[in-house]
Structure formats: structure tokens, C-alpha cells
């Protein structure tokens, strides 16, 4: 605040001086005492300062390793110095116009923790190297560490869309080429780069930018990363080796996707990948069933055999095997007599032999023999809470009760794919709260990952028992509303200046139920939108100076639009003095008092206290305007520089007030 | 004598060069002279035409030869109402001594060393708030030199490097200025004067590149009984019209390490004279001296408070 008004002053400055001298002597004494008791340490030596990493997100396989600092965000900085006991400050001026802030925690071992919540930096320019000086004060000296920098990023981070290995080959050998395609959506116009991290495959792996081709598909960046597996320097032969790609941008965003898996084979024998019972899918095997198993191996051209003797003592004859593409083999078998065999899980050995005669028998495939054992029975399921309408970010809670007639152990999991197309059961938390009763908790993701709006979307609960029986319950239906109003609020014409502290704002907001009003980027209140006409109106209190006014629209469940267009309304408060910065000859001072004045005086002084020019207006008025040609009382053009302005007002009731402001004068 | 001749010529050239420029009664804008020390402020700036010790680096450079000690001084001031403007100053000076021996009583008697020349470096920083969170600042770096001349006259010169900057676009600038000072003794009085911005050049980002307004400070002081020193002084515009004049006194207790100063000055002498009052206190602890000074403003601009610390080196 530049203007500091104060009340009427006495005409006897000598008396004021005596009081001021007394106060000042007390200040001097306190200053001396403070100097005398200050703790003593040496010159601080900086060790290391880091920004604590962001918290881990909930999206599977996607991890934000670092990011820029956004608006209204709390960051933590850990600064390590050679000793505890220093007074350590961080200067956030360059980040968000903040000031010096002391460390909130001195851990006692030289580490100091800063916590800072950024202000509204949405109108700052994003920066990739915003210096935050760290100042440590010992008694003998002060050290300022000026090389710690963060990014200021109000634009957001790149978003992972999809990453996959182009050829669906699962097993790789030395000399094979891995081709990965990764699609990322940038935040605004900030470019995205990619790098691969295959160190879990080859510990000495280094990313080769030459192996990356980049294309744009509408808004998205599509990267194709090609890598040939070397003949040496690999990890030992194993399955499910994770591969990562990392997207970066110039604003410190660094996001890792590690959802790709490959199997590495360095030997020559066939390697199994997976075996899946395709038919029957949701129950155990019965006598006479036509089984279909898809057995996946690391290559095609193998001779594959499945031994079903353990299932039916070989009464079903031999299995037929079809060599499909991409290492998949379809095994068909007609189940023979199961008489006298009890229901249980049996192991089916599957063997593959290559052209050289190398063979491998996988004993890990099991199927359920289940002639008569009933599957899980649903008892009851319901949503916790009264509502059935959900929108992004809400938490869905379901309680469900199941039983097994034969006492088999049950596994319960939700199937919310109708609600979230990319849903996997591990995203929900399922807890057995008592025998047979389960609680399922799932937090709905953002609107981009949800299905389309609709009523009655089924939330399916799946129960499995140990004999492969599967039961589903789809009686729970929820309503989804993730769609915000289509358009942002549009204000009717707002004035550039307001003479009143209260401003009536009106406008239109299509399909909205509420309009939230913000003043200077701070939420004020919500006002209802009239159904049918979609009109809104509200009285908004203004503050002195420029008021930035904007709004978002909301539907009845709180789905928000982005902020609409900003409007700037100047309010000349009860008392204000306006003038341009810099002031050049021909500009004017405006002295305002909404309570009315009978006299207004304005004088310009230099920093030596010399009066340069003064103005006066008498009468009865709300506002006085004093234009100045830049010439002093002697007619000389004033020197450029910094000046003080003294404004004196006499109100209608005779009370006077004085305020002192500053101005920058330029005589161009 | 040979060593002093070039400096004398330098002073003469400076004075001639200054005289060639037309003088006007312009008020200061950027880079004004602001009393940089609490002791200076306590006397209302009336003694700035004399100066003494390390403080003279930013006053009259010849004062470095008076009370000649090597020293360091720093100060901070809040100017006028509501902390709109802050001002800091720092100075350091070196003194070169010469030994003097007198023939008395049939043998040489050595007298205390006397300063023959002195070199000082000064720094001031001014920072002010502007509307809409803008700021303005000025930095001055001064190099001052003084030495004894003939007939007990002391002469000095100071070069100031000036830099102004602001968060407001195209409102900065920079340049240089030359100040000259003289002092001496006359009939029991110590008299002195300093001419500020005798020669100056400022290059503004967008404003007109006028030189800084020239200004003069003259002062006279005389010791009185009981540890009191009386001071009178005046500040003059470039055309020698008076800007401000007044009187003051400084009292140093003989039994206590404390001193008090007070002064009163008048300005706008030709139209509507306005008086301001000033006062200050200094406490000396060994080689350290803490000072505080205060000046009122008759124009209701608020007071000026300044704190300072001075260290004298043996």
C-alpha cells in the first residue's frame, strides 16, 4: 500500500519531536540490548537445498517424479547447512511476490524445513529457473545461497494417454528390437520430450535420443522409441521385467510410466508366458465340457502338448493343438468321465518342444474340476450413504455380503468398468469387515477417465470361490454426472470504474445452476441462476483500486466450468488519490472523497523536503483534479526522480486529514 | 610542494569548468543530497558543509582530515511518513599521516602525527515504494580524496557514480557527478563549504538528460565552553539563492561517553518560512559509536529517523 493516510496534525512540531525523541531513545536502547543477547554461531556454510518431491498419485504405473510449482500449492524445501541454530530464511519474492519466510522446522542437525503456500501466480509468466535465495544468518556473518531454483508452472503437466509395445511379442532375446509407442498430451503449448529407462533390462542402459521419432497427432505427442537389445550387459533371464518411459517438459515436469513388461530369454528352450482357460470361463470344468485353453509361449513353431490325465484320468482322449500367431497355441480337449472324482483344483502340465528338441514343461497351469459344488451366493449389497448421484472425485462405498454353500473361501472384487472404462480391480480397496461381509471403497477419477454421463450405471460385484465358480451381482446402480455446463458465465457490460462500493453484476450462464463469483482471484460467493432464462445477478463488494472480476458456472452437483473472461473495474474508495505511474508533464492528480470536501490541497515535495508545486481547490465537491505541466513554482521543468505527494482534505464537517504518497516523475 | 601542485590544478580546472555552466535555482529530483548520518541529521544538515572523520566521505571531503581517524560508518534511515522511503549509507576512509617536529627550547620536539591526505569510499542506497507495488531506487558510489593545501586550507573532491532503477518501465538511468570541497580556519572559526554536482551527466532511459542541479552547503563552527560546539550553516541553490539556513549546537559530556546535538533550520525564506527541528544522541563504547538522529518536517511529511554505527580503527 503506497498511501498511508493519517489524521489531523498539530501545528506545534516541537512537542511532537519531544515525544518522538523519547520513543526513539527507547528504540535505541532496545536495539543495544538485542545486539547484546544475540546468539553467536560462525559463518553458515551451505550443504544442500532440495525441493521435496510431490506426493505419489493414484494412477497406476504413472508416477510424477518432479513438477513445477503451481498456484495455491504448498511446497516444502529442505535446506541443509553445516550447523543447527542459524536463523534461516527463504526469499519467495521471485516465485510469487512473497517475502522472506523463516524455516518452520530446525531439525537440530543442520536441516531446515520451509513450507510455503504459493499465492495466485496464474498471471505470472511460467519460468524454468526461478531462484529462491536461502539466507542463513549466524552472528558473525550471513550466507546467501542463490543457486537453488524451482520451476513456476501454472500450465499443468503432460498427461499420459497410452504407452504400449508395438509388436505384441512378450518374450525378447538378445538382438531383438523393442519398439514402444507412447502418447502424451501436453499442457497447453509446452513441448514434451521423452526418454526411455530400460535399466531394469540392461543396467548400463543409456537413453539414445536418436532412437526416438516424434509426431503430433492433433494435440498429442506420439513418440516411437526403438531399442535393440544388446548381446551383453543384460540382467539374468526372467519374466515380467518392467520398462519405463519418462516424459519431461521445460517446466520441471518429469512423469514416469512403468506399465510395460517383457520376459527376457537368454537360453534356447521354449519359454511359457501364460495359459488361460477360455471355455468354460466362469465356472469349474464338468464332464463332457469342451475345454479351450490358450497357451502362450515365447515363439511360434513349437510342438505343444497338454496332459489332461489329472483331470479325468485320460478318459477324454488326446487334446488337439492349433498353432495360432504370435506364440499363441489353442488347446482343445473334450472332458471324459469324472465319475468317482471329487471336485478339486488339478494341475495340467503343458509342454512345448522347439525344432532343436529343446523342451520345457510348465506345471503352473491349474483348472477346477467342479461337477456339483455350487458357486458363491449373494446375500445383500447396498451403497453406503443416501445418494446415488456421483460426480468426479466422489468416493463410492459399497457393502456386500456373500456366502459359499460349501464353505469355500471367497474372493470379492468390484467390476466398475461400466463407470471407469480403464478400471482394474486393484484400484478399489476391498476389505472383509466380518466373515462374509465386505466393504468396497473406490474414489472416482477425473472426468476424463470416466464413462459418459448416465443414470443407472451398474456397479458389478464379482465373487469367486476356490473351485473357479464366479457369481456376479449387478443390482447396484449409480447415476453419473461429470459434465459441467457447456459455457462459461457471460457478464453483461461492467463499468470500467465504479463510484459505489457495491457493484451489481448481471449476466447469463447457459445450463448452469450456480455462478461462482471471484474478485481479484479470490472466491466470494455463489449466486443462483434462474432456470429457463439462465440469468444471474448479484451485488459484489469492491475494494479500493482495481477489482478483477470473473466467474465460473456450476451445475446442481457442482461440476464447474473454467473461469470466464476477466473484467477489471476500478473503484475509487471513500478516499483515494489517483495519478499515473510514471507521472509525465500533462498528467493529472485526482483527489477523491465520497463524503465530499470543501477544500483539497495537493503539494509535491522532493526528498529534501522542498516544495516543488502545490495545488488547491475550494468549494463543495467530491473530486478535485489537478493537472500538472511538470514545472515547479519558479517555472523550471522539474527534474526526473522520486517525489512525495502530500494530500490534505477538509471534509464538509470541518475535519481535516492528510496523507502522504509517492510518485515517480519523468519529464519526457 | 610539487606533489600538491597537480591536485591544486585539478581543483582549479573543476571550478573553472563549473563556472562555465549556467547556474539555476533548480530543486533536486533524482539523487538529492540527504543527510547520510545521524549526527548530520541531528544538526539538521547544517554542518554538512564541514563534516568530520569518516562521515565526511559523503559530506565535505575535507572533513576526512579533521578528526583524522581511519574508520567505518554505516547508517539506516526511514524518511518521512509511513516508511515510504528508506535510505542507507556506508563509508570507509584511510588517512595518511605525516610526522611533524618543531624546534623549541633548544631541541626538536615531536608533535602528534597530522593527516596529510585521505581517501574514502562511500555508498548510499535509496529505495522507495510506488503505487501498485512498484518500486524506485537510487545507488550512489562515491570516491573522495582530500589533502592539506597551503596556509592551512584543506581541499577535497568527490566523484559519484549514480545509478537509478525502477520496476516501472523505462524509468532508470545512470551517470556521474563531481563535488568539490574546501575548508580552513579563520579567526578561531572553522569554515567550510562543498559544491555538489559541479559537473554532472545523467543518461535517463526516457527522460530528458539534464545535468543534476548544482547546490552548495556552507557551514561555520566554533567551540564554546563546557564542551559545546556552535554551528551555523546554509544550503544554497545553484544560483546561490538560499534554500535552507539555521543554527545548531553539539554538546559532548566530558565525564560520560555521550553527546547530544540539536538544531533548527528555516526554509522557503523568501516566501513562507517554515522551521524544522532536529536532535540526536550519540553513545561511544570503546571504538564504537552508536548514533541516532531525528528531524521533523514542517510540511507534515513526517519525521526522519536515522540510526548509525561508527567504528574507529587505531
Percent of chain A whose predicted confidence (pLDDT) is above 70: 93
Q: Is the pLDDT of residue A316 over 90?
A: no
Per-residue pLDDT of B229-238, as tens digits, reads: 999 999 988 8
The answer to whether B81 contacts A639, with C-beta atoms less than 8 Å apart, is no
Please tell me whether residue A36 adopts helix, strand or coil conformation.
helix
Q: In the block, which residue shows the cell 600538491? A: B4
Percent of chain B whose predicted confidence (pLDDT) is above 70: 85
Per-residue pLDDT of B135-159, as tens digits, reads: 999 999 999 999 888 777 889 999 9
Cross-strand bridge partners of residue B69: none
* Nearest-Cα residue of chain B relative to residue A12: B298
Please tell me whether residue A106 adopts helix, strand or coil conformation.
strand
Size of interface A-B (CB pairs under 8 A): 174
Q: Which of A606, A609, A611 sits opposite B29 (nearest CB)?
A: A606
A519-524 average pLDDT score: 89
What are the cell numbers at B226? Answer: 563546557
- Which residues on chain B are in Cβ contact (under 8 Å) with A573? none
A381-393 average pLDDT score: 85
Phi and psi at residue A155, to the nearest 5°: -95, -15
CA distance B226 to chain A (A): 24
The secondary structure element, H or E, covering residue B4 is helix B4-19
Confidence of residue A594 (pLDDT cuts 50, 70, 90): confident
Task: Of A11-15, A440-444, B249-253, give the lowest mean pLDDT range.
Answer: A11-15
Task: Examine residue A424 and say whether the peptide bond preceding it is cis (omega within 30 degrees of 0).
Answer: no
Q: Which of B79, B134, B213 sits opposite A607 (nearest CB)?
A: B79
- Which residues on chain A are in Cβ contact (under 8 Å) with B277? 13-14, 17
In DSSP notation, B283-307 reads EEETTEEEEEEEE--TTSS--EEEE
Q: What is the mean pLDDT of chain B?
A: 85
Which of A231-235, B34-38, B286-290 is the most confident on average? B34-38
A133-153 average pLDDT score: 87
Question: Given CB atoms, is B162 within the 8 Å cutoff of chain A?
Answer: no
Specify the pairing of strand A454-465 against strand A470-480. antiparallel
pLDDT in the model for residue A630: 92
pLDDT in the model for residue B70: 80
Please tell me whether residue A237 adopts helix, strand or coil conformation.
coil
The answer to whether A639 contacts B210, with C-beta atoms less than 8 Å apart, is yes
Length of chain A: 668
pLDDT in the model for residue B18: 57
Greatest CA separation found in chain B?
77
Task: Of A511-515, A659-663, B124-128, B297-301, give the lowest mean pLDDT range.
Answer: B297-301
Phi and psi at residue B253, to the nearest 5°: -70, 135
What are the cell numbers at A168? Answer: 505384441
Please tell me whether residue B137 adopts helix, strand or coil conformation.
strand
Q: Is the pLDDT of residue A230 over 80?
A: yes
Question: Given CB atoms, is A204 within the 8 Å cutoff of chain B?
Answer: no
The answer to whether B290 contacts A28, with C-beta atoms less than 8 Å apart, is yes
Per-residue pLDDT of A7-63, as tens digits, reads: 333 333 333 343 444 444 433 333 333 333 333 346 888 899 988 887 766 678 898
pLDDT in the model for residue A648: 92
The answer to whether A21 contacts B294, with C-beta atoms less than 8 Å apart, is yes
Phi and psi at residue A210, to the nearest 5°: -65, -15
Per-residue pLDDT of A472-503, as tens digits, reads: 999 999 988 888 888 899 999 999 888 777 89
pLDDT in the model for residue B68: 67
Question: Given CB atoms, is B34 within the 8 Å cutoff of chain A?
Answer: yes
What are the cell numbers at A256? Answer: 514416469
Determine the Cα–Cα distance for residues A328 and A320; give it in Å rounded to an integer.
14
The answer to whether B303 contacts A639, with C-beta atoms less than 8 Å apart, is no
CA distance A508 to chain B (A): 32
Task: Examine residue A582 and say whether the peptide bond preceding it is cis (omega within 30 degrees of 0).
Answer: yes
Q: In the block, which residue shows the cell 532496545? A: A30
Q: What is the mean pLDDT of chain A?
A: 85
Please tell me whether residue B152 adopts helix, strand or coil conformation.
helix
CA distances from B232 to B48, B145, B174, B248 (A): 10, 25, 34, 6
Which residues lie below 8 Å from residue B112, measured CB to CB, with a gap of 6+? B100
pLDDT in the model for residue B92: 94
Per-residue pLDDT of A334-360, as tens digits, reads: 999 998 888 889 999 999 998 777 788
What value does the CA radius of gyration of chain B take, rounded to a whole number of Å?
20
Q: Is the pLDDT of residue A1 over 60?
A: no
The DSSP letter of residue A211 is G
pLDDT in the model for residue A8: 34
pLDDT in the model for residue B223: 86
Length of chain B: 314
pLDDT in the model for residue B124: 97
Confidence of residue A125 (pLDDT cuts 50, 70, 90): confident
The DSSP letter of residue A233 is S
Which residues lie below 8 Å from residue B66, measured CB to CB, with a gap of 6+? B50, B51, B52, B53, B56, B154, B183, B190
CA distance B18 to chain A (A): 19
Q: In the block, which residue shows the cell 543384460? A: A234
A266-281 average pLDDT score: 85
Comparing C-alpha atoms, which of B204, B219, B193, B180 is closest to residue B19? B180
Q: Is the pLDDT of residue B107 over 80?
A: no
Question: Given CB atoms, is A662 within the 8 Å cutoff of chain B?
Answer: yes
Task: Of B74-78, B92-96, B123-127, give the lowest mean pLDDT range.
Answer: B92-96
CA distance A668 to chain B (A): 4
Q: Is the pLDDT of residue A515 over 90?
A: yes
CA distance B208 to chain A (A): 6
Confidence of residue B16 (pLDDT cuts 50, 70, 90): low
Phi/psi region, residue B177 (left: phi>0; alpha: psi -120 to 50; beta: rest), is beta
* Nearest-Cα residue of chain A relative to residue B35: A608
Cross-strand bridge partners of residue A152: A69, A127
A253-257 average pLDDT score: 93
pLDDT in the model for residue B23: 56
The secondary structure element, H or E, covering residue A182 is strand A177-185
Determine the Cα–Cα distance for residues A256 and A243; give it in Å rounded to an integer.
10
Per-residue pLDDT of B170-224, as tens digits, reads: 889 999 999 999 998 888 888 999 999 999 999 988 777 778 999 999 999 998 8
Q: Is the pLDDT of residue A583 over 50?
A: yes
Q: Is the pLDDT of residue A504 over 60?
A: yes
Amino acid at each position: 500500500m503506497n498511501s498511508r493516510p493519517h489524521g489531523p496534525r498539530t501545528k506545534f512540531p516541537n512537542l511532537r519531536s519531544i515525544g518522538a525523541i523519547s520513543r526513539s531513545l527507547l528504540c535505541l536502547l532496545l536495539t543495544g540490548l538485542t545486539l547484546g543477547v544475540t546468539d553467536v554461531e560462525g559463518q553458515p556454510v551451505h550443504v544442500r537445498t532440495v525441493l521435496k518431491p510431490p506426493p505419489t498419485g493414484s494412477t497406476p504405473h504413472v508416477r510424477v517424479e518432479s513438477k513445477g510449482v503451481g498456484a495455491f500449492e504448498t511446497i516444502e524445501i529442505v535446506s541443509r547447512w553445516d550447523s543447527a541454530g542459524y536463523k534461516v530464511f527463504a526469499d519467495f519474492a521471485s516465485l510469487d511476490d512473497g517475502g522472506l519466510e523463516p524455516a518452520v522446522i530446525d531439525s537440530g542437525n543442520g536441516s531446515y524445513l520451509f513450507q510455503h503456500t504459493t499465492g495466485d501466480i496464474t498471471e505470472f509468466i511460467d519460468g524454468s529457473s526461478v531462484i529462491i535465495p536461502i539466507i542463513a544468518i549466524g552472528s558473525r556473518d550471513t550466507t546467501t545461497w542463490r543457486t537453488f531454483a524451482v520451476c513456476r508452472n501454472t500450465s499443468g503437466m503432460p498427461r499420459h494417454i497410452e504407452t504400449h509395445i508395438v509388436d505384441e511379442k512378450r518374450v525378447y532375446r538378445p538382438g531383438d528390437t523393442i519398439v514402444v509407442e507412447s502418447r502424451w498430451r501436453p499442457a497447453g503449448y509446452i513441448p514434451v520430450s521423452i526418454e526411455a529407462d530400460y535399466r531394469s533390462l540392461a543396467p548400463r542402459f543409456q537413453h539414445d535420443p536418436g532412437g526416438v521419432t516424434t509426431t503430433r497427432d492433433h494435440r498429442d505427442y506420439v513418440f516411437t522409441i526403438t531399442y535393440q537389445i544388446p548381446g551383453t550387459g543384460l540382467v539374468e533371464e526372467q519374466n515380467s521385467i518392467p520398462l519405463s518411459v519418462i516424459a519431461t517438459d521445460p517446466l520441471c515436469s518429469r512423469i514416469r510410466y512403468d506399465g510395460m513388461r517383457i520376459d527376457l530369454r537368454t537360453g534356447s528352450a521354449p519359454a511359457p508366458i501364460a495359459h488361460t482357460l477360455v471355455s468354460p470361463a466362469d465356472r469349474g470344468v464338468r464332464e463332457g465340457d469342451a475345454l479351450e485353453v490358450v497357451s502362450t509361449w515365447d515363439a511360434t513353431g513349437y510342438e505343444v502338448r497338454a496332459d489332461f490325465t489329472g483331470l479325468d484320468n485320460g478318459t477324454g482322449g488326446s487334446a488337439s493343438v492349433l498353432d495360432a500367431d504370435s506364440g499363441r497355441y489353442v488347446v482343445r480337449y473334450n472332458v471324459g468321465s469324472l465319475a468317482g472324482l471329487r471336485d478339486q483344483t488339478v494341475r495340467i502340465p503343458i509342454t512345448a518342444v522347439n525344432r532343436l528338441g529343446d523342451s520345457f514343461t510348465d506345471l503352473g497351469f491349474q483348472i477346477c474340476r467342479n461337477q456339483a459344488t455350487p458357486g458363491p451366493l449373494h446375500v445383500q449389497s447396498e451403497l453406503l450413504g443416501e445418494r446415488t448421484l456421483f460426480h468426479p472425485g466422489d468416493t463410492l462405498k459399497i457393502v456386500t455380503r456373500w456366502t459359499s454353500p460349501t464353505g469355500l473361501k471367497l474372493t470379492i472384487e468390484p467390476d466398475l468398468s461400466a463407470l471407469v472404462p480403464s478400471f482394474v480391480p486393484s484400484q478399489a480397496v476391498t476389505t472383509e469387515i466380518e466373515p462374509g461381509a465386505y466393504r468396497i471403497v473406490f474414489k472416482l477419477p477425473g472426468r476424463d477417465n470416466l464413462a459418459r454421463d448416465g443414470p443407472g450405471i451398474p456397479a458389478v460385484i464379482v465373487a469367486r470361490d476356490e473351485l473357479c465358480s464366479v457369481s456376479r451381482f449387478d443390482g447396484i446402480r449409480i447415476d453419473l454426472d461429470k459434465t459441467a455446463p457447456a459455457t462459461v458465465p457471460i457478464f453483461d457490460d461492467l463499468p470500467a470504474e465504479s463510484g459505489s462500493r457495491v457493484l451489481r453484476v448481471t449476466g447469463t450462464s447457459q445450463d448452469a445452476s450456480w455462478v461462482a463469483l471471484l474478485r481479484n482471484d479470490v472466491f466470494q460467493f455463489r449466486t443462483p441462476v434462474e432456470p429457463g432464462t439462465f440469468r444471474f445477478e448479484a451485488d459484489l463488494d469492491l475494494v479500493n483500486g482495481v477489482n478483477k472480476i470473473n466467474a465460473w458456472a456450476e451445475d446442481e452437483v457442482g461440476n464447474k466450468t473454467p473461469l470466464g473472461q476477466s473484467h477489471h473495474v476500478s473503484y475509487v474508495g471513500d478516499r483515494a488519490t489517483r495519478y499515473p505511474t510514471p507521472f509525465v508533464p500533462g498528467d493529472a492528480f485526482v483527489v477523491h472523497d465520497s463524503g465530499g470536501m470543501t477544500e483539497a490541497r495537493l503539494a509535491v515535495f522532493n526528498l529534501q523536503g522542498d516544495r516543488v508545486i502545490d495545488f488547491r481547490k475550494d468549494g463543495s465537491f467530491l473530486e478535485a483534479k489537478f493537472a500538472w505541466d511538470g514545472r515547479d513554482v519558479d517555472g523550471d521543468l522539474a527534474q526526473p526522480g522520486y517525489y512525495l505527494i502530500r494530500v490534505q482534505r477538509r471534509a464538509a464537517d470541518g475535519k481535516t486529514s492528510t496523507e502522504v504518497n509517492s510518485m515517480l516523475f519523468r519529464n519526457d | 610542494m610539487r606533489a600538491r601542485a597537480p591536485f591544486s590544478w585539478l581543483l582549479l580546472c573543476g571550478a573553472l569548468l563549473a563556472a562555465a555552466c549556467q547556474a539555476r535555482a533548480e530543486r533536486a529530483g533524482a539523487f538529492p543530497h540527504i543527510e547520510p548520518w545521524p549526527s548530520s541529521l541531528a544538526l539538521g544538515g547544517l554542518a554538512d558543509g564541514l563534516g568530520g572523520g569518516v562521515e565526511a566521505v559523503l559530506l565535505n571531503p575535507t572533513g576526512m582530515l579533521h578528526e583524522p581517524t581511519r574508520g567505518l560508518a554505516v547508517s539506516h534511515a526511514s524518511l518521512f511518513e509511513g516508511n515510504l522511503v528508506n535510505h542507507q549509507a556506508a563509508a570507509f576512509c584511510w588517512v595518511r599521516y605525516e610526522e611533524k617536529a618543531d624546534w623549541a627550547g633548544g631541541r626538536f620536539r615531536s608533535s602528534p602525527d597530522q593527516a596529510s591526505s585521505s581517501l574514502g569510499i562511500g555508498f548510499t542506497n535509496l529505495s522507495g515504494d510506488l503505487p501498485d507495488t512498484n518500486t524506485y531506487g537510487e545507488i550512489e558510489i562515491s570516491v573522495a580524496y582530500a589533502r592539506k593545501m597551503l596556509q592551512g586550507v584543506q581541499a577535497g573532491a568527490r566523484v559519484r557514480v549514480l545509478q537509478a532503477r525502477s520496476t516501472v518501465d523505462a524509468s532508470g538511468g545512470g551517470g556521474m557527478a563531481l563535488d568539490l570541497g574546501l575548508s580552513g580556519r579563520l579567526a578561531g572559526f572553522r569554515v567550510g563549504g562543498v559544491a555538489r554536482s559541479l559537473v554532472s551527466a545523467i543518461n535517463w532511459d526516457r527522460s530528458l538528460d539534464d545535468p543534476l542541479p548544482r547546490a552548495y552547503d556552507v557551514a561555520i563552527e566554533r567551540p564554546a565552553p563546557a564542551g559545546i560546539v556552535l554551528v551555523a550553516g546554509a544550503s544554497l541553490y545553484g544560483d546561490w539563492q538560499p534554500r535552507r539556513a539555521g543554527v545548531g549546537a553539539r554538546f559532548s559530556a566530558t565525564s560520560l561517553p555521550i553527546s547530544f546535538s540539536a538544531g533548527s533550520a528555516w526554509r522557503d525564506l523568501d516566501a513562507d518560512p517554515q522551521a524544522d527541528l532536529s536532535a540526536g544522541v550519540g553513545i561511544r563504547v570503546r571504538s564504537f559509536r552508536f548514533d541516532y538522529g531525528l528531524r521533523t518536517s514542517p510540511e507534515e511529511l513526517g519525521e526522519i529517523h536515522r540510526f548509525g554505527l561508527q567504528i574507529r580503527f587505531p
